[in-house]
Chains A and B, each alone.
Chain A
Amino acid sequence: MKKIEAIIKPFKLDDLKAAMAELGVQGMTVTEVKGFGRQKGHTEVYRGAEYVVDFIPKVKVEIVVAAEMVDKVVSTIVASVKTGKIGDGKIFVLPIDSICRIRTGETDKEAI
């Protein structure tokens, strides 16, 4: 079992969700986040004074899948959200020790 964390451009969320649904991914958790990477911030002006937007809004998508699904899911995410411009985001894959579905008490693979 692996957790895939994808930090993506917010407006790409719908594309990602559609691609995941096609792939048969059962669920995901989405969070609005802010941060910066190599894209860094950019300068804006408010009431005549410049300011730097250090943290750029992004969306973090967390998807948990069986280990054998990981490569497929990651490549589908890349295909669905890539624009080729700086700021496209990153994907992290983490191991999952255990899962428990709260409603039924099912664990691990049955609970994905």
Chain B
Amino acid sequence: MNRSIAKKMCLPLTMAMVALAGTAMAAEGAAEIPAAAEITGAAVTYVVNNTWMLVATFLVFIMHLGFATLEAGLCRSKNTVNILFKNTAIVAIGLLTYAVIGFNLMYPGDFSIAGIFGFSGFGIGVSPENMMVTGDDGVGIYTYWTDFIFQAMFAATAATIVSGAVAERVKLHSFLIFSAIYVALVYPWVGSWKWGGGWLDAMGFYDFAGSTLVHSVGGWAALAGVILLGPRLGKYVGKTIKPIMGHSMPLATIGVFLLWLGWFGFNGGSVLSANPAAVSFVFVTTCLAAAAGIVGASSLSWIIQKKPDLSMALNGALAGLVGITAGADVVSVMSSVLIGLIAGFLVVVAVMVIDRLKLDDPVGAISVHLVCGVWGTLAVGIFSAAHSFTTQLIGVAAYGVTCFFAAFIIFYLLKVTLGIRVDAEEEMKGLDIGEHGMEAYAGFEINNV
């Protein structure tokens, strides 16, 4: 479409949107958007900003389906229902706990312990006059509700990362309890150190969309879980590693593409406005890093394994995405390609090293989210002149120590009380029957018809 035509078509559309929004707000009695006749430039910008943030929100939302299908595909069919159930439950846990505690713990406004801890009360809510959140220039960027729901969609992601790493052997109820505690308390508390304006923010630590705050926070917990759980039965026999193949590469591929789609919102939305230059630039760095991640992981796995491994190529795309997340808006285009490429190499090496350490991570969550999350955060200090490598390192270390030990303690307490691992017989039969009494593909085999 020709640009001038596009402009002509967009204007009435925007006006209609503004008018609609205005009517809706008037009906609610919150008349901060004037009637259609008095529309100002700032009001239009506000609506456009807010609309983009809501689009970004549902893009992040679809990442939960991406995680669900990716994990399901990379595990055995006998555990599919269990994986899908965990991913469904996590969305609920994430949204509800974020509404009750998380949001006000992550963005407390005032800290009661300087820069380290603050909590502005249970629940969410806002008065009509405080509805509009404004940017530095005083123009509205989104509403309070948009802010909440966008951040809430992020929250559940940290627990979802753990889900993949502990798959095929973790007890469902213990995992759900872990997720609730981790997402309700740990994720928002450590998040406040940077995004809530805490001590790391004051130091100049930079994490644009969460290489550390989301991905390595999840990754550290995944590592703690995997250490305490032990490997799946039959994975490490004597000195040999016996690969346990995923049951559906098509599902895994769908998952990765959904996650990539979601990343347009994850990174694009983290601009926190519809700023045309910033959002489009972030789209470019995000996609180039993902593409370079695929190239890096594919080529290295091709060299090492003699054949290109699809699961590695898929992990490579995610590695690139996780890697660019910390610096998507501050590194150059060329740097984004390098960050993605190195993330792609790293993920292949990490998968193989972690496997040789006998840490059984069925989907490569630790390699993708922890290793590449750390890499992406440090990369900001390497590729952006405005940020210090040392500060980035301090941030990585602070999150590493806190999150690993917090997750380790929660998992450990669950291990000695409720137990975190299903018994051997259930593991062999599959968690679908053991935990849920149902199959993912009932009727698929001839003897089940």
Contact = CB atoms under 8 A, between A and B. Distances in A.
Interface of A: 44-51
21 contacts: A45-B243, A45-B305, A45-B306, A45-B309, A46-B243, A46-B309, A47-B243, A47-B351, A47-B355, A48-B301, A48-B309, A48-B348, A48-B351, A48-B352, A48-B355, A49-B241, A49-B242, A49-B243, A49-B355, A50-B243, A51-B243
Contacts of B39: none
Nearest to B300: A48
Nearest to B315: A47
B311 interface: yes
Q: How large is the interface on B (under 10, 10 to 19, 20 to 34, 35 or more residues)?
A: 10 to 19
Contacts of B348: 48
A27 to B, nearest CB: 19
Contacts, number: 36
Nearest to B301: A48
B304 interface: yes
Interface in B365-384: none
Contacts of B245: 46
A57 to B, nearest CB: 14
Given A46-B245, A49-B242, A49-B352, 10 more contacts: A44-B307, A46-B311, A47-B311, A47-B312, A48-B301, A48-B348, A48-B352, A50-B241, A51-B242, A51-B243
A44 B306 CA distance: 10
Contacts of A49: 241-243, 352, 355
A29 to B, nearest CB: 13
B352 A45 contact: no
Contacts of A48: 301, 304-305, 309, 312, 348, 351-352, 355
Nearest to B243: A46
B446 to A, nearest CB: 11
B299 to A, nearest CB: 14
B364 interface: yes
Contacts of A45: 243, 305-307, 309
